[in-house]
Chain A
Amino acid sequence: MIECKNVSKIYPGDVPALENISFKINDKEFLSIIGSSGAGKSTLIKLLHAEEKPTSGEILFGGEDIVEYKKKQIFQHRREVGVVFQDFKLLPKKNVFENVAFAMEVSGRSEEEVAEDVPQVLEIIGLTELADKYPHEISGGEQQRVAIARALVNRPKVLIADEPTGNLDPESGWEILQSLLKINKYGTTVVLATHDREAVDKINGRVVVLKDGKIVSDEIKGKYDLKEDKVKKEEKEDRQRRTDSENQKKKSI
């Protein structure tokens, strides 16, 4: 079980990202976290994955506060918590099999284990036939499935997905969500962060809504509780913000 207790994160320059967040995630639960960008979703994911440290509060995984973790425990924690990103983060010069195997090699698993576990995971995610392909040879949806397979191969108790459908067409996005549901059915806790209202509607599970760094609703079997036009407006703003920041990035490069 995962529990966040009074978690706040304030970035340098007094930029608050999360303010006094508290919630629990039960074992084997499928939790969706929704909110527009800037609401604190990514920050929350980074805290759960121990990429960032909260300014205050506790984050408990099975009773242990990961905020207090030393280096070694952080590395161990990341092996036990699978994570999937919007931009897949695959290694372009490794094929599908090698990309998945990489996560096992890094954890110090033997060649025999790699040879046994990787095909199993590829089978579950439906990638067996693509094992020899390189990332540029397969579709975005397939690439995201490779990322999911990589996140699963170390048999994590928790899988965190940060906007996994953000770069995909609706159909591929739906396939990814189905993969996540399937994984959840096998007994892995799944935390899905997204602003994709339709997706969350289809999943129809527990939904935590974040707004301006605060939890504004937490309902089981809840629908995306914002008004449709408001959501659309937010999404539009969201896209605008994203292109702006991308343009800025391009300029700075």
Chain B
Amino acid sequence: MRLTFSRTLRAGFKNFYRNGWLSVATISIIAVTLFIINIQFAVVISENLLLNDIKDRVSISAYFKPDTTEQDVLKAKEEFAKYQEVGSVEYISKEQALEDFKRENADNEILQKSLEEIESNPFEPTLSIKAWEPKNYELIARLVNDSNYKEMINTVNYDKYSNVIDSLGTEIDSNQKTGLALGITLAVIAVLITFNSIRITMYAFRREIEIMRLVGASNNYIRMPFVWEGILYGLISAMVALPLSFIYLKFVAITESSGVILPFSSSIYIDQFLNQIFFKNILWIVPAELGVGILLGVISSIIAIGRYLKNPRH
């Protein structure tokens, strides 16, 4: 077993080396495939980061009439929190709203002065409601407007951003689908090209194969060198594609002009992706990349040699 392993491995390396430019071409194609799959992944994940970020900032605000008691507002809070679509409800009292406003506008002297001149708190007690899904904001706004507390509520203001979020969600969805289709198409092309390369090697080695069969080599023994060759193709391709993808994301995609390639996302999110996700998960990203490369190579080899070995006897 160990002997077969080392002997077929050696033969596989020799095939690979003897193929020269054919090996280089095969590796290039697999590497390009892996590169595009990588970039697609990075884009989709960066877009998700962006989406989550925006989702976090959006909420519905229900402004209560100034004379509503805190007790009533809290009852409303409890009620709204029970809605299925609602993620969280935050109560902001009149005083807190004033404080927040003062703090946010600390630089604006005119505003500060005018607040002092009013002498009373112009803010209303507010419930800030967040939805699980951005598409539910409209529904929640309607539910709040129709609730038992509608008499106490002055206005319900749901963020105009929810439309943006909706379209961003759709965008990511379609991006994922396009990316998947593109990835699969390229993977098929890569398999076909690797398949062809291995077939050409096998043609060059047909005499060897004939003699191997003649002296009683098992199918496995004949197959293994070509499988090793495929593994080698995939392995080297992955080792090329991964650093290339990183360099592309870090130095090319991050520049302003990349808006066309990465709709909605900006450099911050690509950077965030690299720092928060890529580097933290590199321990499984690297083996996964190598694994995908090897898989592409091996599948091609096995398909290519299949016909040769179907039957040891006619």
A interface list, Cβ under 8 A from B: 50-53, 71-72, 74-80, 83, 89-92, 102-103, 105-108, 110-111, 150, 154
Contacts and interface: CB of A to CB of B under 8 A. Distances in A.
B313 A74 contact: yes
Contact of A72 (B3, B212, B218): B218
Contact of A75 (B3, B7, B207, B312): B312
B232 to A, nearest CB: 20
Contacts of B4: 108
A103 B215 contact: yes
A105 B207 CA distance: 17
B57 interface: no
B314 A53 contact: yes
Contact of A74 (B210, B211, B312): B312
Chain B binding site: helix, strand, loop or mixed by DSSP?
helix
Given A89-B211, A90-B211, A108-B3, 8 more contacts: A71-B312, A75-B218, A78-B215, A103-B215, A105-B7, A106-B212, A107-B215, A150-B215
A77 B216 contact: yes
A102 B215 contact: yes
Given A71-B219, A83-B214, A53 B313 contact: yes
A50 B217 contact: no
Interface in B168-207: 207
Contacts of A75: 216-219, 312
A78 B219 contact: no
A91 B207 contact: yes
B215 A52 contact: no
A164 to B, nearest CB: 14
Interface residues of B, number: 19
A80 to B, nearest CB: 8
B211 A78 contact: no
Interface centre among B210, B218, B221 (most CB of A within 10 A): B218
B111 to A, nearest CB: 88
A60 B213 CA distance: 21
A60 to B, nearest CB: 17
A52 B211 contact: no
B221 A106 contact: yes
A78 B313 contact: no
A79 B4 CA distance: 16
Contacts of B210: 89
Contacts of A76: 216
Nearest to A84: B214
B217 A106 contact: yes
Contacts of A110: 3
Interface string B299-314: 0000000000000111
The 10 closest A-B pairs by CB, nearest first: A78-B216, A79-B216, A103-B215, A106-B217, A75-B218, A75-B216, A74-B312, A106-B215, A53-B313, A52-B314
Nearest to B311: A71
Nearest to B222: A106
A106 B216 CA distance: 7
B131 to A, nearest CB: 63
A147 to B, nearest CB: 10
A75 B312 CA distance: 8
B100 interface: no
9 contacts: A53-B313, A75-B217, A75-B219, A75-B312, A89-B207, A91-B211, A92-B207, A106-B212, A154-B216
Nearest to B217: A106
B78 interface: no
Nearest to B7: A105
B223 to A, nearest CB: 13
B310 to A, nearest CB: 11
Nearest to B18: A93
Contacts of B72: none
B159 interface: no
B215 A79 contact: yes
A108 B224 CA distance: 14
Interface centre among B3, B214, B216, B314 (most CB of A within 10 A): B216
Contacts of B208: 91
A102 B216 contact: no
B252 to A, nearest CB: 45
B97 to A, nearest CB: 81
Contacts of A92: 207
Nearest to A150: B215
Contacts of B221: 106
B214 A78 contact: yes
A87 to B, nearest CB: 10
Given A71-B219, A75-B217, A108-B3, A50 B211 contact: no
A74 B218 CA distance: 9
Contacts of A52: 313-314
